[in-house]
Amino acid sequence: MAYQFQFAPVLAHTGPLVEGALLTIELSAGAIVLGTAIGIAASAARWILGGRVRTLIDIYVEVVRNTPFLVQLFILFFGLPALHIRVTATEAALIGMVINLGAYSTEILRAGIDATHRSQIEAGASLGMTPLQIFRHIVLKPAIAKVYPALSSQFVLMMLASSVTSAISTQELSSIAAQIDSETYRSFEVYILVTLLYLGLALLFKGVLALIAKWVFARRRQVPVGARPAAIATREVTP
């Protein structure tokens, strides 16, 4: 028997689908900003302080990266109330995404930081720069530039992984799709449409991230024609 597609009952729920997609975008954007901030802060602490701080950060990274994201969400949403800490489904989803992305960002940034040539660090130290200044002016931006493609991919993966938060009743796109499916019984149509929406969101995030990369990393400091090599070298090294 040939299957007859009927998208009309699904498209009648366009409003909830748009609201779910917007919440997905909000959760993902918040997780990208806060998770990247955690990754940078953790990378700085691990590089500058070392010792026990480095060990604690390594434990955080390994625990998060080697446990299921769904279990992390369950701990936040179902476990925190046992400690008398109440969070909504949306708050738990955002916290979980931030913690998860923070760990992955820390590990990705580590690769870029480790790729920094030793001579650049020694040059900064010879100028009397503190470890924090060396990290900020010499290490951080080139490290991010080196690993930005991997970071961007992780950001998009995190956006797609936000669908897992439907398990704790977050009203994002996948959760709304399940509700529409239960009302219309048009599973094929619902999830074809949702697949296209996720594809569109992934392309949107990739496009925005590419524009950010072009704005932040593609710009090069222009050197005046005829400038002496010594002046150029000083300009490149001085923070």
Distance CA 143, CA 46 (A): 14
Query: Domains of the chain, with CATH numbers?
Result: 7-218 (1.10.3720.10)
Copy the structure tokens of residue 197: 């929406």
Provide the 3-class DSSP secondary structure of residue 142.
helix
What does the pLDDT look like over 167-186, one tens digit per residue? 999 999 999 999 999 999 99
Band of pLDDT at residue 230, cut at 50, 70 and 90 = very low
pLDDT digits (tens, 9 = 90+) for 65-95: 999 999 999 999 999 988 889 999 999 999 9
Tell me, yes or no, if the pTM score tops 0.75: yes
Whether the pLDDT of residue 209 is over 60: the answer is yes
Tell me the one-letter amino acid at 160: L
> What is the 8-class DSSP label of residue 130?
-
Q: Taking the CA of residue 8 as centre, how many other CA atoms within 13 Å lie in the half-sphere pointing to its CB? A: 2
Contact 201, 25 (CB under 8 A): yes
Question: What single-letter DSSP state applies at residue 224?
Answer: P
Please tell me the predicted confidence (pLDDT) of residue 122: 80
| Cα separation, 90 vs 192, whole angstroms | 25
